[in-house]
Amino acid sequence: MSIIPQSPVVRERLFTAIKYLVYGLLAWDGYMFFLDESLASDVTFSSSLTLSEIIKVYSATIDTSFWILLVILLELETYVIEDNILKRPLVKWGMISLRTMCYLIIVYALYGYIVKTGFQSDMAPLAIANACDLVNQNFSILLAVEDYLPLTAENCQILAGEELYQLNGHNIIAPLDDLIYARNVAWIDIFNASTWLGIVAILEIDVWYQLKGGLKGRLLRVSNILKGIFYTILFACAVAWGITGVLLDFVDAIVWLFAFFFIEMNLFQWQQETEQEAALS
C-alpha cells in the first residue's frame, strides 16, 4: 500500500506543510546560533561591542537571519506570487531591492567568518608554564569553537603538561591541538558560506530567465550541473561538521539543504507550469 496520497490536492498540501516545517526549523536554528554566540561574546568581549565586533561575534546569527529572509523571498518568487504580478515594476524592483540587501549582509557575514578564522589563528605560546597561576584573573579555556569554560582551581589541573597557547588580545587559553581544531572548523564555515553564495547566484539567474521563459536547453543543463557540484560541496561541509563533532552546524547544514530542495522543487514545478501554458497557447 502506497503511503503517498493519491489526491494531487492532498499531495500539494502535504508538500507545503513539510516545506514550511523545514523553514520553521531554520528559524529555530538561527535562535540556537544566537544563544551560542551570546555566551561566547560574554567571554571574548567584556565591554560593549563595536559594529565590527558584532559582525565578528554574531556572524552566524546575522548570516542565518538574512538567509531565512532570502529563503522567504525565493519562496514568494518561485511558489506564492503569480508571474503576472512578479513582472509588475513595483513588485519586481521591490523584490530585487530586498534580495540585494540580503546579499550585502550575507557577504558581510562571510567577512565575519573570515575575521573569526583570523581570530582563531592569532595565537602565541603561553608565557606562564602553569595554567593554575592564572586562576582568578578572568581567564577561560577554549573547549571547542565558541565554547568556553572559566578557568578555575579545579579545571586548571587538566591542562597540566599540555603545550598551552593564548589567543592574542584575549584571556583565552587552550592546548595547541584544540586551537588548531577550532581554526579548521572555522574554515569549514568559510567554504560553506562561499558555496551558498554560488548557489543563490545561479538561482538568481534561473529565476530571471524563468520569468522570461528562457530557462531551458543548454542554460538549464549548465545550471543543474553547477548546482549539483555546489550542493555536493555543501553536503561535504555538513559531513565535515558531523565528523568534527559540531552538532549544531551539522544539523543546521542538513536543514538548509532540505530547505533549498524545496526551493528547487518550486522552480521545477514553475517550469512545468510554464511549459504546459506554452503548449496550450
Which residue ranges make up each domain of the chain? Answer: 8-122+178-280, 123-177
Q: Check if the beta carbon of residue 213 is closer than 8 Å to that of residue 201.
A: no
Q: How far apart are CA 154 and CA 152, in angstroms?
A: 5
Q: What's the longest Cα–Cα distance across the chain? A: 82
Q: How far apart are CA 233 and CA 219, in angstroms?
A: 21
Extract the C-alpha cell encoding 8.
Answer: 494531487
Helix (H, G, I), strand (E, B) or coil at 124: strand
User: For residue 30, what pLDDT is reported?
Assistant: 84
User: Which residues, given as ranges, of the chain have pLDDT below 50?
Assistant: 1
Q: How far apart are CA 237 and CA 181, in angstroms?
A: 15
* 138-to-121, 172, 173, 176 alpha-carbon distances in Å: 21, 9, 11, 20
Residues in the chain, overall count: 281
DSSP code at position 48: P
Q: Check if the beta carbon of residue 268 is closer than 8 Å to that of residue 32.
A: no
User: For residue 148, what pLDDT is reported?
Assistant: 77
What residue type is 3 in one-letter code?
Answer: I
Extract the C-alpha cell encoding 162.
Answer: 599540555
User: For residue 179, what pLDDT is reported?
Assistant: 84
What residue type is 231 in one-letter code?
Answer: Y
User: For residue 48, what pLDDT is reported?
Assistant: 62
What residue type is 268 in one-letter code?
Answer: F
Q: How far apart are CA 174 and CA 25, in angstroms?
A: 33
For 138-158, write each residue's pLDDT tens digit.
888 887 666 778 888 888 888
Q: How far apart are CA 216 and CA 253, in angstroms?
A: 29
DSSP code at position 2: -
